[in-house]
Amino acid sequence: MSDPTHEEEFPLPGGPKRNLRSSEVRPKSSLLFACAGVFLLCLLSGSWIYRVVGAPNLPRSYRILELADENGYRLVHPKSINNPGYVVGEGIKTHAQSADRGPAKVGLIVFPDGKLRPIPWVWDPVNISDGLLIDGYTGASPPVSYRTLLERGKPLEVGGEWTKLDGFKGFVATNNRNETLMRHEDEYFLVNPGGDYHLLSPTEMFSASGEPQNFVFSDMNDSQILVGRMRIETEVFRPAIWSETHGHEVLRDFELDSSEFIAINNRGVCVGSARQKRTDSIYLWSLADGLVSFSKFENQAVWPFDLNDHGQVVGGSSFETEDPGFFRKTVRSLSLLQKIYGKSISYLPIGWRRRFQLNASPRHITDAFIWENDRFYDLNAALPFFSEWDRLLYATDINNRGQIIGVGLIDGEERGFLMTPVEEGG
């Protein structure tokens, strides 16, 4: 009687003996590994598709650049971009260290040719006009307001009577006529290019009965029209417009919990945000035509930051639920599948791991967006699959050429980005 566990070996002509049982097992093992590989590829592809399927394809292609150079300068938080393409914001110099042993902080300007230069004395530049006037703050404690004019590539201090105001002076907005809207204590001032200033009609800040109107302004255009909000009651606001020639106007016909104007362009169009329960909204309101565009986003927090003269709005958004997607819910509901998925992505580079991680922190699941023609577009859709960028978190500004600046992640670290539209065939 033969042994059932015995493996028969047969000599092959001109070669070694062959084990029949091992030869039968080897194809099965290869098939198993192939199936596992296909399964993993499907998971990763599904995760990637999940990331970009939530918004329609972008209406144009973009070239995406990190705002950094070979000298160690890195713009981390870009704040403003003008129409010629100059960018200013907070940055660091990676080749130098501050007193706390971290990278030295520095205010930076990015020229249209991509070169980065530090701005003397300014750590936090917040605005740059088409006339190359830069408003910002020094690194002192408390910070000191500082105005700089870029002439022939060199920043020069802009003094004037405004510097004689005691206490902290906050820069609200700068228009392309090199005029600055400045807040000092509870009053607003207009500072002209030469540094002289005047108070913006304080009597307009009070009602007929003498009660304070509690105006808070956020932007000003070239026509010196101010926009912002007026507090109606605690946590309830209404969008407000003010100018020296026409006084103030408060929009009260919004049936929403709270609403405000964020910015105004030079065509008299304002972008506003509103909130009612768990629904955020973005809208455009024209001085000439009233409400011209309105979009609602349920269970999604949306923060518009700015708009250009074409009515394109940029900002950041995030889902209010930690797990909004079907793919993530399905994977989390299957514990074995979750373990396999987690083990699989652990072998990926760190940037890829963060991209496909199921348990991302709320801070890192925001998405930069552009909103135009009543459509919401996730700017992450512009990232190629093998991009060095983990994610584009939020966009802070857009100029009339359609160039967008904002903050994203590379290997889990915040970096400033510049997106430039690419023409068809370009």
Residue 349: predicted pLDDT: 53
How much is the pTM?
A: 0.78
Q: Which of 301, 288, 311 is nearest to 375 (CA)?
A: 311
Q: How confident is the model at residue 29 (pLDDT cuts 50, 70, 90)?
A: low
What integer is the mean pLDDT of 244-256?
74
Note whether 274 and 293 are within 8 A (CB). no
Residue 191: predicted pLDDT: 96
Q: Which of 280, 252, 282 is nearest to 269 (CA)?
A: 282
What integer is the mean pLDDT of 276-285?
87
**Rounded distance between C-alpha atoms, residue 55 and residue 57, angstroms:** 7
Q: Where are the domains of the chain?
A: 63-324+366-422
Residue 340: predicted pLDDT: 64
More confident residue, 247 or 26: 247
Residue 172: predicted pLDDT: 95
Looking at every residue in the chain, the average pLDDT score rounds to 80
- Among 60-69, 202-211, 239-248, 298-307, which range has the highest average pLDDT? 60-69
What integer is the mean pLDDT of 341-348?
59
Q: How confident is the model at residue 386 (pLDDT cuts 50, 70, 90)?
A: confident
**Fold of the CATH domain 63-324+366-422:** Methylamine Dehydrogenase; Chain H (2.130.10)
Q: Phi/psi of residue 259, each to 5°?
A: -150, 150
**Rounded distance between C-alpha atoms, residue 231 and residue 251, angstroms:** 12
Contacts of 228 (CB under 8 A, 6+ apart): 215, 216, 217, 218, 219, 239, 240, 242, 260, 261
Residue 206: predicted pLDDT: 58
Residue with the two structure tokens 């512009």: 382
What integer is the mean pLDDT of 156-170?
91
81-99 burial: b if 16+ Cβ within 10 Å, else e? bbeebbbbbbbbbeeeeee
What integer is the mean pLDDT of 246-253?
76
Q: How confident is the model at residue 215 (pLDDT cuts 50, 70, 90)?
A: confident
